[in-house]
């Protein structure tokens, strides 16, 4: 994500990022969010990157877990 931050620094054009980041943005987005071994620090780190990049999470459509 550091590469993303550097490549878009100062760019005012709209852009989109999509894909599998191997971490959920919120605990509720994880299929096992009630389990105690969920890596909450990774979730917080990902949330910080989303904030730093001024990204917006698009609403989910369809089943929660596949």
Between 2-6, 21-25, 39-43, 48-52, the lowest mean confidence (pLDDT) is in: 2-6
More confident residue, 61 or 3: 61
Q: Is 1 a residue whose pLDDT tops 70?
A: no
Q: Residue ranges of the domains in the chain?
A: 2-52
Q: Which long-range contacts (CB under 8 A, 24 or more apart) does 2-9 make?
A: 4/49, 4/53, 5/49, 5/52, 5/53, 8/53
User: pLDDT by residue (tens digit) across 5-30?
Assistant: 777 667 778 778 887 778 888 877 76
Choose among 57, 66, 54, 44: nearest CA to 8.
Answer: 54
pLDDT of residue 33: 58
Give this prediction's pTM: 0.63
Report yes or no: 23 and 42 within 8 Å, Cβ to Cβ. yes
């Amino acid at each position: 994500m550091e590469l993303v931050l550097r490549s878009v620094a100062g760019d005012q054009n709209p852009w989109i990022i999509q894909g599998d980041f191997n971490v959920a943005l919120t605990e509720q987005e994880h299929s096992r969010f009630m389990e105690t071994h969920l890596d909450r620090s990774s979730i917080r780190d990902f949330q910080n990157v989303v904030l730093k990049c001024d990204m917006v999470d698009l609403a989910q459509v369809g089943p929660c877990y596949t």
